[in-house]
Structure 1
Amino acid sequence: MYLAHLSLTDFRSYPGLELPLGPGVTVLVGSNGVGKTNVMEAIGYLSTLGSHRVSSDQPLLRFGTEQAFIRARLVRGEQQASVELEINATRANRARINRGNPVRAREILGLVRSVLFAPEDLALVKGEPAVRRRFLDELLVTLEPRHAATRADYDRVLKQRNALLKSARGGRLNEAQESTLDVWDHHLAGTGAELLRARLDLVQRLQPHIDTAYASLTDGSKIARAHYRSTAARPADVVSDDDGAVASAEAPAAVVGQDSGDDAALLADATVEELSALYVEALRAGRRQEAERGLTLVGPHREELELLLGPAPAKGFASHGETWSFALALRLAAYYVLLDDDLSGTQAPVLILDDVFAELDAQRRSRLATIVAGAEQVLVTAAVEGDIPPELHGARVRVLPGTVELDGTHGG
């Protein structure tokens, strides 16, 4: 799959933009601040309905406007399709597929598959657990768009349950509140178990690719691993620290992807129903603590994708270069998982490298460029031409404030 054309209206800095694209490598070159990243962000938003730069939609609208549009024409094998996303300031976003009637925005999930590399990816290794959970969930939704509804249902139940916990006086629940909380526990456990089962399966798919990708970017002297730590692992022991990572009063939570005993085996093979039962048990065990804090401490929203480099956690122990390599390896692993999922051979994701090469040393630049050069479509941004490795030869687009100039014209 590749994008043949991208159109922006009132998105970020662009009153209007028409950008023809094509397969192979396209490099957008321009000074910092002229809008290169805005173009890449728009494509990423079509894939995930989220920005890698901001947490809300308001900054995506050009200042003084109430609405923005992202439109794209896709080519999949011998077929073409169009998608339009309408981003609104005061009402729900809407979408159109092939100029049809408006539908909910999440109906377009899965149509535009992309993997975006950006300087912000350092947070995948150095940041809080929420960053890594988002990485997993965005990839899940790309692979199986129905999980967008799963996540929305979970967030709705979580909000209701937290509201009930906050209503406890002095950390004590009355009989009516206890009864209502029992109901919410089962709702949260049910939707949470669906999300957990999907995450566990995804981590198993990612693991071999993470190790391979990291080795290809480095000298291969260290093994890169990712282990999922779940609050469903040890119901009697699980507590939670302030940043949302899993901790345990007596022993580490089970880790999927490592031989850490029966807990890991249980989670790796457990059905959704079994995981739901584990969550219910953990919620009951932690109820007093949750009532005292007015916060739900058990569930996928408090879990962690732990990254290990050799025997040590990558966070806090990896050097700057190793951190960059691990972050890139995670994105490459996501790309490989999407390729594995492309049984038709027409849904290979678009690779987007937004100002990444300026952050890398010459050796990592060359290795990354060699890896991605063969993708069906690669979109790269850079402030100066010299940042682009020679392996990425292709069309060039000059980005100027509010517009672009093509140098190496694509059909489209």
Structure 2
Amino acid sequence: MYIAHLSLTDFRNYAGVELPLEPGVTVFVGQNGQGKTNLVEAVGYLATLGSHRVPNDGPLVRSGATRSIVRGDVVRDGRHALIEIEITPGRSNRARLNRAPVSRTRDVLGVLRTVLFAPEDLALVKGDPDTRRRFLDELLVARTPRLAGVRQDYERVLRQRNTLLKTAAQASAGALRTLDAWDAHLARLGGELLAARLATVEVLQPLVAKAYAHVSPAQEEARIDYRSGVELGDATTAAALADKLTDALAERRSDELRRGVSLVGPHRDDLLLSLGEFPAKGYASHGESWSMALAVRLAAYDLLCGDGGEPVLILDDVFAELDSARRSRLATLVAGAEQVLVTAAVPEDVPPQLTGVRHVVAEGEVRRVG
């Protein structure tokens, strides 16, 4: 899989750009603030309908414009698919696939798959649980696009339930009885989401251990485990997990009514990243934390490759953050990917293993130089 052409209109600092791309390695070199990361951010948006840099779409639209358009020509097994996303902050985005409108923007998910490495990845180890949940859920959706609907429905139910809990003190007895209905929806959707998460973590674990051994000179074994706020026992199916969530919701209802927030469900869970016997967060050195973050991303890449259809690899300013040994190890591991998109502030940041097409990015213009 690779992206053969990227087209941007009023995206970030680009009024318009038409960028042919090729399989293999493509490097974008430019000083900070010139727009190189904006290019790979647009590619990632086509794959995930989200940015790795900002939580909402507002900053993606060029100053003075009301909308932006991102198009990508994706080639997989010799067949082309054209994705187009129209981003309009404050309104629902619209999407087209092969120039035909789709009923829901999420219907384009799965056409393009990416794995992105960026300086923000250090938050996978050192950051809050929501960063790790987002990583896991984006991986679920890349593997099984229909789970995007499950995830959105769960978040909708969660918002509605939280609204009811916040007003519980003023709510009538009849209104409070509707909590039972929301509990049933939350448990059903949460059970499905939780089952997918647990299955993914199970197959991801050996891949994380393998990737960490490749990128780090250290001898500790890396692990990734799922940590749920609910006692799951040996439940693994969506139905069995829904039953566990239902029981937990009943047990915690009084606490939830008192605090006015949902305390049970996948939105409260976390991924535990460990090195040897200790959690990476709080114990790992800076270099070990980077190795763990890289291992998690590389494991996701290996998992998607195993599912069929090698994803596009994006390395956004990541080499400047690594020491020479980790830089060389990572470059060697990814050099053979079908398509690798690299950004760097200076050419010297790019390891020699990653030779290919080179572009200079300056003041919102992209110029091929090699």
Where on the TM-score scale, by shorter chain, does this alignment land: which range?
A: over 0.9
Task: Give the equivalent residue in structure 1 for 2:341.
Answer: 379
Equivalent residues of 1:229, 1:304 under 8 A apart: yes
2:320 equivalent to 1:358: yes
Q: 1:26 to 1:129 in 2, by over 3 A?
A: same
SS at 2:282 equivalent: coil
Q: Which residue of 2 aligns with 1:48?
A: 48
Q: CA deviation at 1:161?
A: 0.8
Residue of structure 1 equivalent to 2:158: 158
Separation in structure 1 between the aligned mates of residue 67 and residue 132 of structure 2, nearest angstrom: 30
Deviation of the 1:220 alpha carbon = 4.5
Distance in 2 (CA, whole Å) between partners of 1:87 and 1:104 is 13
Count the aligned residue pairs. Answer: 370
Q: Report if aligned partners of 1:231, 1:279 keep a CA contact under 8 Å in 2.
A: no
Task: Report the Cα distance in structure 1 between the residues aligned to 2:281 and 2:244, rounded to whole angstroms.
Answer: 29
1:211-250 equivalences under 5 Å are 211-233=209-231
User: What's the % identity of the aligned pairs?
Assistant: 58
Deviations along 1:356-381, whole A, 9 cap, x unmatched?
00000000000000000000000000
CA positional deviation for 1:77 = 2.1
Shift of 1:102: 4.6
2:211–2:298 contact (8 Å) kept in structure 1: yes
Partners of 2:28 and 2:278 lie apart in 1 by 38
1:388 aligns with 2:350: yes
Is residue 2:325 matched to residue 1:327? no
2:307 to 320, 341, 345: 341
Higher helix share: 2
Give deviations 1:44-102, integer Å, cap 9, x for gaps.
11111111111110110001111101111111122112111111123211111111235
Which residues in structure 2 correspond to 1:3-402 (within 5 Å)?
A: 3-169=3-169, 175-233=173-231, 263=233, 266-267=234-235, 270-342=236-308, 347-402=309-364
Aligned equivalents of 1:90, 1:167: Cα separation in 2: 27
Contact 1:232 1:275 survives alignment (8 Å): no
| Deviations 1:243-274, CA, capped at 9 Å, x for gaps | xxxxxxxxxxx6xxxxxxxx2xx13xx32111
User: Is the contact between residue 81 and residue 111 of structure 2 (CA under 8 Å) also seen in structure 1?
Assistant: no
C-alpha displacement of 1:174? 5.8
Distance 1:286 1:178 in 2: 15
1-side partners of 2:104 and 2:154: how far apart?
Answer: 19
How far apart, in 1, do the equivalents of 2:293 and 2:10 lie? 32
Q: Write the distance in 2 (CA, Å) between the matches of 1:159 and 1:177.
A: 16
- Gap runs ≥5 in structure 1: 234-253, 255-262
Deviates further, 141-150 or 82-91: 82-91
Letter matched to residue 216 of structure 1: H
Residues 142-168 of structure 1: CA deviation (Å, up to 9, x unaligned)? 111101100111011111111111112
Aligned-pair Cα RMSD in Å: 1.2
Q: Choose 324-333 or 89-98, whichever is displaced more.
A: 89-98
Q: What stretches of structure 2 of length at least 5 have no aligned partner?
A: none
Tell me, what secondary structure is at the counterpart of 1:70?
Answer: strand
SS in 2 for 1:95: strand
Task: State the TM-score, normalizing by the size of structure 1.
Answer: 0.88
CA–CA distance in structure 2, aligned partners of residues 89 and 315 of structure 1:
35
Partner Cα distance (1:101, 1:129) in 2:
36
TM-score, length of structure 2 as denominator length: 0.98
Deviations 1:317-351 (A, max 9, x none): 00000000000111001100100100xxxx21000
The one-letter code of the counterpart of 1:199 is R
* Greater Cα shift, 287-296 or 224-233: 224-233
- SS of structure 1 residue aligned to 2:101: coil
Q: 1:218 deviation in Å?
A: 1.0
| CA distance, structure 1, for counterparts of residue 11 and residue 103 of structure 2 | 20
Greater alpha carbon shift after TM alignment, 314-323 vs 159-168: 159-168
| Superposed displacement of residue 175, structure 1 | 3.5
